[in-house]
């Protein structure tokens, strides 16, 4: 365990992926009973039909645990082979300790380093870049990264402009050092904190610590200026996709499947149009998941592999955009 290595490796290989969703399904028809909305509005404006909702006794680390077990199984390694755990989440079990430490304990991996990182919907791609940096510097050989979220527990169920958008789920990936081949070809990241007030959770931190008042005003749930976020998301996702391709010395035509952050079908279509690619090469599963922030790209990648949409050797590009604003893209050979 914790095999800090002196050797520098030339590449990073993806060994396996996994995902997990809570069992409970919340359909648009169910939402019609909670807020003034319609299945038709949600479907035409977002593409979402249903989302998964975690139980009260099913925290984020639990979803992360089941996704991690699946990734370890698909990687065909035992938990003891893991040297580092990174969890990308904006909906941790609690403020402290990190969800990564809680996951480490569930996996029985006492001793190895574990920490969370916060980059909202781009979180998984940020985690991919950190895993690559740790592995290729020779510091850690095999890294477990997880995107896990329970956004429905940070949702204001009286706000129809946000409560119809989000869901819960987790995805995981095991990456390891590779001497011969490199399957993680490139990662590109960006951020602009001047837009932090367009998509945020106002209270619960040091700026607005929790009080009865913040709870009564529902300031612990996600607030979003959807139209503004939409406008920023499209060009940044297009830019990130192009930059990661450039870094990988690949062309759009080389990519078998694009997996953009699953927030809104109209965003996906606009990104595809601007990149001049067909929607046939864009993976979509948001109709059954909703927006699950850092968990979208990895759960979608896992589904694309499991359903045979991606086979060994194919190139896939993950692209994301989220609160911060943050954005990023990664080119991977599966």
Ligand X SMILES: CC(C)(COP(=O)(O)OP(=O)(O)OC[C@H]1O[C@@H](n2cnc3c(N)ncnc32)[C@H](O)[C@@H]1OP(=O)(O)O)[C@@H](O)C(=O)NCCC(=O)NCCS
Is 261 part of the annotated catalytic residue set? Answer: yes
Q: Which stretch binds ligand X (CB under 6 A): 80-88, 111-119, 206-214, 261-269?
A: 261-269
Catalytic residue from among 101, 121, 163, 264: 121
Please say whether the beta carbons of 49 and 290 come within 8 A. Answer: no
Please say whether the beta carbons of 32 and 38 come within 8 A. Answer: yes
Residue 27 binding ligand X, by CB under 6 A: no
Residue 161 binding ligand X, by CB under 6 A: yes
Helical packing angle, 39-46 and 265-275, nearest 10°: 20
Half-sphere exposure of residue 144, counting CA atoms within 13 Å on the CB side? Answer: 40
Among residues 301, 295, 318, which one has the least CA distance to residue 243?
Answer: 318
Rounded distance between C-alpha atoms, residue 88 and residue 123, angstroms = 5
Among residues 128, 119, 116, which one has the least CA distance to residue 85?
Answer: 116
Residue with tokens 């365990």: 1
Shortest distance in whole angstroms from residue 216 CB to ligand X: 23
DSSP summary character for residue 4 = -
Shortest distance in whole angstroms from residue 90 CB to ligand X: 10
Among 41, 154, 200, 239, which residue sits at the site for ligand X (rule: CB under 6 A)? Answer: 41
Among residues 278, 236, 243, which one has the least CA distance to residue 258?
Answer: 278
Q: Distance between the two ends of the chain, CA-based, in angstroms?
A: 26
- Strand pairing partners for 331? 186, 317
Shortest distance in whole angstroms from residue 55 CB to ligand X: 24
Shortest distance in whole angstroms from residue 152 CB to ligand X: 15
Residue 227 binding ligand X, by CB under 6 A: yes
Shortest distance in whole angstroms from residue 161 CB to ligand X: 4
Among 226, 235, 247, 254, which residue sits at the site for ligand X (rule: CB under 6 A)? Answer: 226
Task: For residue 38, give the 3-state DSSP assignment.
Answer: coil
- Site string (263-282) toward ligand X, x via CB under 6 A: xx--x---------------
Q: How many CB atoms lie within 10 A of CB 183?
A: 19
Shortest distance in whole angstroms from residue 46 CB to ligand X: 5
Residue 37 binding ligand X, by CB under 6 A: yes
Shortest distance in whole angstroms from residue 48 CB to ligand X: 9
Q: Which stretch binds ligand X (CB under 6 A): 88-96, 221-229, 270-278, 307-315?
A: 221-229
Residue 160 binding ligand X, by CB under 6 A: yes
Among residues 323, 327, 326, which one has the least CA distance to residue 90?
Answer: 323
Task: For residue 93, give the 3-state DSSP assignment.
Answer: coil
Please say whether the beta carbons of 207 and 110 come within 8 A. Answer: no
Residue 240 binding ligand X, by CB under 6 A: no
- Site string (73-112) toward ligand X, x via CB under 6 A: ----------------------------------------
Please say whether the beta carbons of 232 and 195 come within 8 A. Answer: yes
User: Would you say 221 or 264 has its CB closer to ligand X?
Assistant: 264
- Number of residues near ligand X (by CB under 6 A): 20
Residue 286 binding ligand X, by CB under 6 A: no
Residue 235 binding ligand X, by CB under 6 A: no
Is 121 part of the annotated catalytic residue set? Answer: yes
Q: How many residues does the chain have?
A: 334
Among residues 52, 33, 48, which one has the least CA distance to residue 164?
Answer: 48
Catalytic residue from among 101, 163, 264, 291: 291
Residue whose Cβ sits closest to ligand X = 226
Which positions touch ligand X (CB under 6 A)? 37, 41-42, 45-46, 121, 160-161, 164, 226-227, 229-230, 233, 263-264, 267, 291, 321-322
Q: Which residues are catalytic?
A: 121, 261, 291
């Amino acid at each position: 365990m914790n095999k800090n290595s002196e050797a520098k490796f030339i590449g990073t290989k993806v060994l396996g992926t996994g995902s997990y969703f809570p069992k409970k399904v919340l359909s648009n028809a169910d939402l019609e009973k909670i807020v003034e909305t319609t299945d038709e509005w949600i479907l035409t404006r977002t593409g979402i039909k249903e989302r998964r909702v975690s139980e009260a006794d099913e925290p984020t680390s639990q979803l992360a645990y089941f996704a991690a077990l699946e990734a370890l199984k698909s990687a065909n390694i035992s938990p003891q082979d893991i040297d580092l755990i990174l969890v990308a989440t904006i909906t941790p079990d609690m403020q402290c300790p990190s969800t990564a430490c809680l996951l480490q304990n569930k996996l029985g991996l006492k001793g190895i380093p574990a920490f969370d990182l916060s980059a909202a919907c781009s979180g998984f791609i940020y985690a991919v870049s950190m895993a690559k940096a740790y592995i290729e510097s020779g510091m850690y050989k095999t890294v477990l990264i997880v995107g896990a979220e329970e956004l429905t527990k940070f949702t204001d169920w009286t706000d129809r402009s946000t409560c119809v958008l989000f869901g819960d789920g987790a995805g995981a990936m095991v990456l390891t050092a590779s001497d011969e081949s490199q399957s993680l070809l490139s990662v590109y990241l960006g951020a602009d904190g001047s837009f932090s007030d367009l998509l945020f959770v106002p209270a619960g931190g040091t700026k607005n610590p929790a009080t009865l008042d913040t709870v009564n005003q529902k300031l612990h749930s996600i607030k979003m200026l959807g139209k503004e976020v939409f406008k920023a998301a499209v060009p940044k996702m297009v830019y990130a996709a192009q930059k990661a391709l450039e870094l990988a010395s690949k062309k759009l035509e080389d990519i078998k499947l694009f997996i953009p952050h699953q927030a809104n079908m109209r965003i996906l279509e606009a990104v595809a149009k601007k990149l001049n690619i067909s929607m046939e090469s864009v993976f979509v599963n948001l109709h059954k998941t909703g927006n699950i922030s850092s968990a979208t790209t990895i759960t979608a990648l896992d589904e694309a592999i499991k359903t045979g949409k991606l086979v060994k050797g194919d190139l896939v590009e993950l692209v994301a955009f989220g609160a911060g604003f943050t954005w990023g893209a990664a080119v991977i050979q599966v």
